[in-house]
């Protein structure tokens, strides 16, 4: 009996942990083949590949991001070969099971919830007596009737075999994200989240997890992401794992965690700031909303003052990048309240701020109580909201405009100094900048086309001209600095028109050759100066702004050397009235 476990990942760099658990648990009785695709792959290509493998059984791992494409694949497979048994499992199909079985008649079985033991038991019955009534945790069809057997118990996670040690995965470990699970469940009850449905937290064997991480690093894994819903719920456990990862990590490895910031003790952060190498850890923190009433309605316990303390201390440590999440559309969070939430969180200046929109996930308390808040939402995954009684569809569209430019201009860090000046000095608040720019962006039709780096600078410049801001000269100079600082090589044609004539540039270079002390430690000959540098007059002392955050107006010359050996630019700001410029 040929058995395949398949899934459609969101991106190639992702891997699916669930099907690896199924394969590991099914051994040695069943040799399961894994097949991973992406939601961007043509359906025909996926179906062709699966059919050519000549399976008797295919199990699909289903999520909100892949269910629509997965169903297309399944329907085509069933048309080609109806004898292939189709199983589906995963969070997207574990709830509303009756409706799924009625809607998608090509599903032969749904595995409900935790699937490892159920999957193996079901394989045994398919191969044997077919007593499906004896398999807990499945939905199936018998004589055109739908039957649902509810799960009986949770698995002892300490007894699960490792899903990380398949030889076929080794060639891909360095190129893809490796997901690590050290616990299941969540101690909190947030009504918009599927994790709230499973009460309590269960842990895997800690020493086995450490052995698996050693194995993965030894075989090339570079990015390891922990999928635990609250990695730091146990302080002693988190400290032990942090210590282990600091002591035994290999160079170039990055570990990502979802943490609950308001329960993290200051001494833990102090330990990380002192002991962790820069860039080793990355924290994802779900803030979602700073509206206390909203959090109360969704049963989300959050102490914002303690959360702020944690985020600030981590930021000050300079060792760990932070990814903070917001959700627009939670109960009683209107447009103006969300503006405050956004500004509250942006004030931390996280390395990444993710602006998401509420999704009414099957099985969650908020979906069950949707009528109470007059939610309207899409019937198809990902079930994103279209409005509620305090947030109109027009408001949602406006916030989506914020999301678009936030991703391009903050999260990608293409012009940090420019954005910092705009949100802190020019516009009333960060949200107002991103909203005004986002609305202009959409009005120009730019959301429908692609963008090169130069385009992003030109479009911000065009928006600021239309907005008639004060201090446009300062903003332009900051944009030039950000643009040049991000280049490894001397750009052939910057996004602005050259300020200096050829003769002015040549005169400056000749003066520098006579007075090389202005270049500090740089030792450049005439060829280096002309071939690998850029000069740009600016209206203020940019070094003073970078170090002190205030504008000191005095003409300067920005000198940028693009080192062809290191690909790291050197930027020097020189007083316009000092030698060699005065010569």
Say what the pLDDT of residue 523 is: 85
- Is the pLDDT reported for residue 163 higher than 70? yes
- Would strands 281-288 and 85-89 be described as parallel, antiparallel, or unpaired? unpaired
177-180 and 57-61 beta bridge pairing: unpaired
Give domain 159-361's CATH architecture: Alpha-Beta Horseshoe (3.80)
Burial of 469 from C-beta contacts in 10 A (0-12 / 13-18 / 19+):
middle
- Sheet arrangement for strand 32-38: 32-38, 3-9, 57-61, 85-89, 109-111, 138-142, 145-149
Backbone angles phi, psi at 387, to 5 degrees: 155, 170
Determine the pLDDT at residue 581. 52
Residue 3, pLDDT above cutoff 50: yes
Percent of the chain scored above 90 by pLDDT?
80
Q: Is 472 exposed, middle or buried (0-12, 13-18, 19+ CB in 10 A)?
A: middle
Q: How far is CA 436 from CA 37, 412, 427, in A?
A: 39, 19, 9
Task: Give me the pLDDT at residue 579, please.
Answer: 47
Q: What is the length of the chain?
A: 583
Contact 300, 333 (CB under 8 A): no
For residue 542, the SS3 value is helix
- Strands 553-562 and 569-575 turn out to be antiparallel
Output the CA–CA distances (angstroms, integers) from residue 296 to 68, 189, 303, 379, in the order listed: 33, 11, 11, 27
Closest by Cα among 367, 378, 374 to 191: 367
Least confident of 11-15, 384-388, 491-495: 491-495
pLDDT tens for 486-527 read 888 898 888 898 888 888 888 888 888 888 888 888 888 888
The better pLDDT of the pair 105, 507 is held by 105
The string of pLDDT tens digits covering residues 30-40 is: 999 999 999 99
The predicted structure's pLDDT at residue 280: 98
Q: In angstroms, what CA-CA distances link 207 with 217, 241, 273?
A: 16, 10, 25
Residue 410 CA to residue 323 CA, distance in Å, equals 12
Q: What is the pLDDT of residue 209?
A: 97
Check whether 206 has a pLDDT greater than 80. Answer: yes
Could you tell me if 541 and 552 are in contact, meaning their C-beta atoms sit under 8 angstroms apart?
A: yes
Helices (H) and strands (E) in the chain, counts: 20, 20
What mean pLDDT do residues 558-566 have?
Answer: 89
573 confidence band (pLDDT: 50, 70, 90): confident
Query: Which of 81, 61, 78 minimizes the C-alpha distance to 70?
Result: 61
Q: In the predicted model, is pLDDT for residue 583 greater than 50?
A: no
Report how far residue 92's alpha carbon sits from residue 221's, in angstroms, rounded to the nearest whole number: 29
Residue 83 pLDDT more than 80? Answer: yes
Q: What is the DSSP string of 243-310?
A: HHHHHHPPTT-EEEEEE-GGG--HHHHHHHHHHSPTTSEEEEEEEE---HHHHHHTT----HHHHHHH
Q: What pLDDT sits at residue 580?
A: 54
Residue with tokens 């698996």, as numbered in its chain = 212
Distances (CA, A) of 184 to 20, 157, 225, 263: 16, 9, 15, 19
Angle at which helices 67-80 and 43-52 cross, to 10°: 50
Report whether pLDDT(243) > 70. yes
Average pLDDT over every residue of 176-202: 90
Query: If you average pLDDT over residues 1-21, what whole number do you get?
Result: 97
Angle, CA of 89, 221 and 34, to the nearest 5°: 30
Mean of per-residue pLDDT scores for the chain: 94
Euclidean distance between CA atoms 270 and 565, whole angstroms: 38
Q: Report the distance separating Cα 20 and Cα 121, nearest Å.
A: 17
pLDDT at 538 over 50: yes
The separation between CA 580 and the C-alpha centre of its own chain, rounded to angstroms, equals 48
Confidence of residue 451 (pLDDT cuts 50, 70, 90): confident
Q: Is the pLDDT confidence value at 106 over 80?
A: yes
> What pLDDT is attached to residue 74?
98
Give CA separation, 555 vs 69, 246, 559, 582, in Å: 58, 47, 13, 12
Please check the confidence at residue 305 and state whether its pLDDT lies above 50.
yes
pLDDT of residue 122: 98
Residue 113, phi-psi category: left (phi > 0), alpha (psi -120 to 50), beta (remainder): left
Mean pLDDT, residues 59-78 taken together? 98
87-115 residues labelled b (16+ CB within 10 A) or e (exposed): bbbbbbbbbebeebbeebebbbbbbbbbb
Q: CB–CB of 557/538 below 8 Å?
A: yes
End-to-end CA distance of the chain: 86
Query: pLDDT value at position 438?
Result: 97
| pTM, two decimal places | 0.92
Cα angle, residue 355 at apex, residues 414 and 417 outer, rounded to 5°: 25
Q: What is the pLDDT of residues 288-299, one digit of tens each?
A: 999 999 999 999
Residue 576 pLDDT level (bands cut at 50, 70, 90): low
Angle, CA of 199, 204 and 206, to the nearest 5°: 135
Picking from 571, 563, 568, the residue whose alpha carbon sits closest to that of residue 520 is 571
Q: In Å, how far are 54, 108, 204, 283, 373 from 27, measured between CA atoms?
A: 20, 23, 19, 35, 48
Provide the pLDDT for residue 300: 93
Lowest mean pLDDT among 8-17, 23-32, 336-345, 528-537: 528-537
CATH number, span 3-149 = 3.40.50.280
Domain ranges of the chain: 3-149, 159-361, 490-575
Tokens 């391009």 label which residue?
Answer: 408
Identify the CA nearest to 495 among candidates 540, 551, 451, 559: 451
Q: What is the reported pLDDT for 577?
A: 61
Predicted pLDDT at 522: 85
């Amino acid at each position: 009996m040929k058995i395949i476990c398949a899934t459609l990942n969101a991106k190639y760099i992702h891997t699916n942990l669930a099907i690896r658990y199924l394969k590991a648990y099914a051994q040695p009785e069943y040799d399961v083949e894994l097949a991973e695709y992406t939601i961007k792959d043509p359906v025909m290509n996926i179906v062709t590949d699966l059919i050519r493998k000549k399976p008797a059984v295919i199990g699909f791992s289903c999520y909100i991001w892949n269910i629509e494409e997965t169903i297309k694949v399944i329907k085509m497979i069933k048309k080609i070969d109806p004898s292939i048994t189709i199983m589906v499992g995963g969070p997207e199909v574990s709830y509303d099971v009756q409706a799924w079985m009625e809607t998608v008649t090509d599903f032969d079985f749904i595995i409900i919830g935790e699937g490892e033991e159920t999957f193996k038991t079901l394989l045994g019955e398919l191969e044997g007596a077919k007593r499906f009534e004896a398999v807990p945790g499945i939905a199936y069809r018998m004589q055109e009737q739908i039957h649902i057997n509810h799960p009986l118990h949770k698995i002892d996670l300490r007894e699960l075999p490792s899903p990380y040690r398949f030889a076929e995965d080794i060639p891909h470990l360095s190129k893809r994200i490796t997901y690590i699970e050290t616990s299941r469940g969540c101690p909190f009850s947030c009504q918009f989240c599927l994790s709230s449905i499973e009460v309590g937290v269960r842990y895997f064997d800690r020493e086995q997890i450490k052995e698996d991480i050693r194995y993965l690093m030894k075989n090339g894994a570079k990015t390891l992401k922990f999928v635990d819903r609250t990695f730091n719920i146990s302080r002693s456990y988190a400290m032990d794992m942090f210590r282990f990862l600091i002591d035994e990590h290999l160079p170039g490895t990055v570990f990502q965690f979802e943490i609950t910031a308001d329960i993290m003790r200051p001494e833990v952060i102090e330990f990380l700031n002192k002991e962790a190498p820069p860039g080793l850890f990355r924290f994802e923190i779900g803030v979602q909303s700073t509206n206390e009433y909203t959090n109360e309605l969704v049963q989300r316990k959050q102490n914002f003052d303690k959360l702020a303390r944690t985020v600030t201390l981590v930021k000050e440590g300079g060792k760990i990048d932070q990814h903070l999440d917001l959700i627009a559309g939670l109960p009683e969070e209107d447009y103006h309240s969300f503006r405050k939430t956004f500004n509250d969180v942006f004030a931390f200046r996280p390395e990444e701020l993710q602006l998401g929109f509420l999704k009414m996930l099957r099985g969650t308390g908020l979906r069950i109580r949707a009528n109470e808040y007059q939610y309207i939402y899409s019937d198809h995954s990902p079930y994103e909201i279209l409005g509620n009684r305090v947030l109109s569809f027009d408001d949602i569209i406006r916030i989506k405009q914020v999301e678009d430019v936030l991703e391009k201009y903050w999260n990608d860090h293409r012009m940090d100094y420019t954005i910092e000046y705009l949100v802190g000095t020019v516009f009333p608040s960060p949200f107002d900048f991103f909203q005004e720019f986002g609305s202009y962006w959409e009005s120009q039709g730019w959301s429908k086309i692609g963008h090169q780096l130069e385009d992003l600078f030109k479009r911000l410049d065009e928006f600021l001209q239309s907005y008639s801001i004060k201090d446009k000269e300062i903003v332009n100079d900051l944009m030039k600095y950000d643009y040049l600082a991000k280049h490894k090589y001397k750009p052939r044609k910057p996004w602005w028109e050259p300020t200096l004539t050829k003769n002015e540039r040549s005169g400056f270079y000749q003066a520098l050759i006579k007075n090389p002390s202005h270049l500090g430690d740089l030792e450049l000959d005439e060829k280096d100066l002309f071939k690998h540098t850029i000069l740009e007059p600016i209206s203020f002392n940019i070094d003073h702004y970078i170090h002190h955050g205030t504008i000191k107006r005095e003409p300067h010359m920005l000198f940028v050397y693009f080192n062809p050996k290191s690909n790291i630019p050197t930027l020097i700001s020189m007083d316009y009235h000092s030698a060699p410029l005065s010569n």
